[in-house]
């Protein structure tokens, strides 16, 4: 795995821990839907399925990870959510939500992990 892949994997691990601490149940990680793409984390928050995009950056990077959801990315995440629901029995009573977890890694000290709900 290259350095960028390792950075992303570390960020996803931190995001998964945060989601579990907040009471969510992880259903899948790095779930792929053909050519549409990949969902970093699929979780359940009560009766809602959560499709979670994780963006990890080093401190001082050009773009903050929370600014990473462009309209095109949001559309792709909605398509991935529909694909997940189609393959897993349809939408639950609570529907589906798209979240973003942004991880910033400073040169020293603990990572800053932010969770934004309903971004797309």
Measured on CA atoms in the order 27, 31, 37, 39, is the torsion positive or negative? positive
Cα(21)–Cα(4) distance, rounded to whole angstroms?
26
Write out pLDDT tens, residues 22-53. Answer: 999 999 999 999 889 999 999 999 999 999 99
Q: What is the pLDDT of residue 15?
A: 97
Write out pLDDT tens, residues 5-14. Answer: 788 899 999 9
For the record, the structure tokens of 39 come out as 């969902």
- 3-116: which CATH architecture? 3-Layer(aba) Sandwich (3.40)
Q: DSSP strand E in 1-120: where?
A: 25-33, 37-45, 48-58, 96-105, 112-116
Inform me whether the pLDDT recorded for 120 exceeds 90: no
Domain boundaries, the chain: 3-116
- Bigger pLDDT: 60 or 97? 97
């Amino acid at each position: 795995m290259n350095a960028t892949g390792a950075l992303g994997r570390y960020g996803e691990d931190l995001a998964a821990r945060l989601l579990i601490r907040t009471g969510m149940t992880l259903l899948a990680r790095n779930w792929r839907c053909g050519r549409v793409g990949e969902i970093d984390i699929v979780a359940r928050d009560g009766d809602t399925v959560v499709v979670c995009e994780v963006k990890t950056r080093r401190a001082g990077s050009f773009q903050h990870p929370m600014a990473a959801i462009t309209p095109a990315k949001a559309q792709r995440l909605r398509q991935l959510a529909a694909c997940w629901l189609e393959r897993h029995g349809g939408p639950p009573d609570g529907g589906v939500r798209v979240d973003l977890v942004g991880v910033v890694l400073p040169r020293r000290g603990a990572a800053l992990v932010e969770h934004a709900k309903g971004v797309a």
